[in-house]
Amino acid sequence: MDFKMAIKVALKNIRTNKMRTFLTMLGIIIGVSAVIILVSVAQGTTENITKRIESLGTNLLSISIRGRGTEDSISMEEIEKLKNKKGIDSVAPVVNGNVTVKYETETMDVTLEGVDQNYSNVRNHHSEYGRAINPIDVEYRQKIVLLGSEVKNELFGDANPIGEKIQINGNDFKVVGVLEEKGSSLGGNNDEKILIPISTAQRFLRTTGIRNIYIQATSADIVEDVQVEVENFLLKKFNNDEDAYRVFNQAEMLSTMGEVTNNMTMMLGGIAAISLLVGGIGIMNIMLVSVTERTREIGIRKAIGAKRKDILIQFLLESAVISGLGGLIGVLLGIGGSDLITRFFSLNTKISPFILIISYSFSIIVGMFFGIYPASKASKLKPVDALRFE
């Protein structure tokens, strides 16, 4: 039997049982669209996280000091020593604390970071408008402040804060800039913080020691070398106590996160694939019913010369057409579904052509696979027995 005719016959049989075929297809439709939607959400989220980490710079090392005994921080002098090491582009020391800011009647609890002029480059966090912190601000312990975007929104709304005075724990600071929106990263929310000159902060928070340092390597390739060098430096300083400090490598974090989100994608895709499998069982079920119903037809076909292979192909094609059509509808629904999710839940989704092809071919494979048993059952019917069937 030629292929074209076989497809025609398959479509005809599907048309005679519209409702039943649709319900069977529904299993595949739901399966395929679920795979596409869930994987697209997972991949969209992955993309978001990766972008955020990358925006912090892949050649970034961040160091946090826990201390050993009374020695719980490093001094500005030691930071100057670090700056001269090979492969290090710049070093941004940070002192931080929690403070309450107040403007007119609005108050807010925020993180305060005392930073120097290198900070904005190293952390890749620049001023949206206004100016940045300059060396002269650090030198003269200026009482100026840069506001995170959320802090600005909370305190000032739409008004321009530049030049205004806010109170930090009761002290007046002049707003000179607003930071660009960054969203939250692993270090907490980047938009709910304020920046002041590091020298001002040391006096203000009554601490001179520095417990957070960001180091930018000259390139991403040598980050690991720099990390070793910095670790050696710290190991010496803290008398071989490895627990006294931690050095985070941004690139390392990126690959760890990549692993985590990959697992998430696989898991979501896997769960959805199970529903596709269940859809396949639905096809098998309905094809078995169909074989029984059409025993006489099979007998007639065999009597006039259909071979086992002809019957096998006919029934296989029928299940393949059901799953193929279902898969196609599922793909369209999946694309539409992830679009709706982006629109109404503002979740980033990303549909790769790869997952479309995979889920569609998987649906056809499932249909064929679960069609094999019913089709082979049909093809093995003896013509006499099939003809006698009422």
Partner 1 sequence: MIKIVDVTKTYNTGKVKFQALKGVSLDIEKGEFVAIIGPSGSGKSTLMNIIGCLDLPTTGKYYFEDKEINNYRENQLADIRNKKIGFIFQKFNLLSNLNTLENVELPLIYRGMDEKQRKEKALKLLQNVGLSNHLNHTPSELSGGQQQRVAIARALAGEPQIILADEPTGNLDTKSGKEVLSILKELNRKGTTIILITHDMEVAESAKRIVTIRDGLILEERVV
Interface contacts to partner 1, rule CB under 8 A: 1-2, 4-5, 12-13, 16, 296-297, 299-310, 382-384, 387
Rounded least distance, CB 374 to partner 1, Å: 18
Residue with Cβ nearer partner 1 (10 or 176):
10
Bridge-partner residues for 91, per DSSP?
215
Which residue from 39, 45, 43, 35 is spatially nearest to 347, judged by alpha carbons?
45
Residue with Cβ nearer partner 1 (3 or 345):
3
Residue with Cβ nearer partner 1 (47 or 297):
297
Residue with Cβ nearer partner 1 (131 or 296):
296
Rounded least distance, CB 296 to partner 1, Å: 8
d(C-alpha 5, C-alpha 310), whole Å: 11
**Cβ atoms of residues 151 and 101 within 8 Å:** yes
Q: Which tokens hold the place of 145?
A: 């402040």
Rounded least distance, CB 322 to partner 1, Å: 16
Residue 92 has φ and ψ, to the nearest 5°, of: -120, 105
d(C-alpha 290, C-alpha 378), whole Å: 9
Residue with Cβ nearer partner 1 (3 or 344):
3
Rounded least distance, CB 355 to partner 1, Å: 38
Rounded least distance, CB 36 to partner 1, Å: 34
Residue with Cβ nearer partner 1 (103 or 315):
315
Question: Residue 95, CB half-sphere, CA atoms under 13 Å: how many?
Answer: 23
Rounded least distance, CB 344 to partner 1, Å: 44
